[in-house]
Amino acid sequence: MKPPPFSHHAPRDLGEALEVLAGAGPRGKVLAGGQSLIPMLNMRLAAPEHVIDINRLEELDTVEAGPDGVTVGALARHARVARAGVHPLLGQALRLVAHPVIRNRGTVVGSLVHADPAAELPAALAVLGGSVRLARAGAAPRDVAAAEFFTGPMESALRPGELAVSARFPALPPRTGTAFTEVSRRHGDYALAGVCAVVTLDDDLRVASARLACIGVGPVPLVVDLGADWKRAADAVRERAEPDGDVHATAAYRLHLAGVLARRAVEQAVERAIGRAAREAAA
């Protein structure tokens, strides 16, 4: 249970980090919070030759909230982003990420790049239609939309030599509510299944659009656009989800859970959207 040997690099700025990453290519791995990478090293599931430790890149420790959304830098830890209170769905997702102590070190962008199919933050990014910014030495950074970013279990569009420098979570439109529900065997474990929902109401407070993202039921977050037909949430999810069974839960149970959680998430999001619409009307 010790990491295999590697060369440790501690660049002082982004330019240096990108140079080192470019040199290491596929033999390099970026270390930010380390709350997923170090267990993988300890269990010898990963054995990179070069670890590029970005913990000195304070320029990436940023949470910027604007009218269009929130941009989270690669070194912003879960706890800090949650404390900033800048996005309702992000806050709801972060409360479900592991335990408070893990959230003191783990980073939001790191969770996205890790791309665990049962993790909450990829679903939050996917349901909101957010994006990840990837930088490489000697080239302009590129923004990859969530729909293209998650490519498989623990796989993303990040190429060797690239660093995910930030992620953008779009702001919610008016009269919008969100919710995140999940079921896990133990508090703080990865979920057996989970669903987050974003619901927007029209001027007459009827549901105009409802979008869900499900976790634990496929290789990447499953986004389901319900349009105005939010009452079909459970059926719509069960028609599209293709979960695998494992020692923790059978495929059939996961499918059942996904449906129940979809209904709960969308109902809660509708309630919150009504509450928010009332507050917005009063303001």
Partner 1 sequence: MTAEHEITLVVNGAARRARVPGRRLLSDCLRHDLGLTGTHVGCEHGVCGCCTVLLDGEPVRSCLTLAVTVDGREITTVEGLAGPGGLSPVQRAFAECHALQCGFCTPGFLCTVTALLRERPAPTDEEIREGISGNLCRCTGYQNIVKAVHRAAELLAEES
d(CA 194, CA 181): 6
> Cβ 239 to partner 1, closest distance in Å?
35
Encoded tokens for 144: 């990859």
Encoded tokens for 246: 């494992």
Q: Are 278 and 176 in contact (CB under 8 A)?
A: no
Residue 97 in the binding site for partner 1 (CB under 8 A): no
Encoded tokens for 195: 């669903």
Residue 138 in the binding site for partner 1 (CB under 8 A): no
Taking residues 66 to 95 in sequence order and writing x for each that binds partner 1 by CB under 8 A, - otherwise, the string is -------------x----------------
β-bridge mates for residue 264, sequence order: none
Residue from 14, 19, 65, 105 binding partner 1 (CB under 8 A): 105
* Dihedral pair phi/psi, residue 9, rounded to 5°: -115, 135
In the region spanning residues 37 to 56, those forming contacts with partner 1, defined by CB under 8 A, are 38-39, 41-43, 49, 51, 53, 55
Residue 154 in the binding site for partner 1 (CB under 8 A): no
In the region spanning residues 223 to 282, those forming contacts with partner 1, defined by CB under 8 A, are none
- Which residue number, 32 or 132, has a Cβ lying nearer to partner 1? 32
Q: Are 68 and 47 in contact (CB under 8 A)?
A: no
- CA-atom Rg of the chain in angstroms: 19
- Which residue number, 53 or 267, has a Cβ lying nearer to partner 1? 53
| DSSP β-ladder status, 50-53 and 7-9 | parallel
- Interaction site with partner 1 (CB under 8 A): 1-8, 10, 31, 34-35, 38-39, 41-43, 49, 51, 53, 55, 79, 98-102, 104-105, 187-188
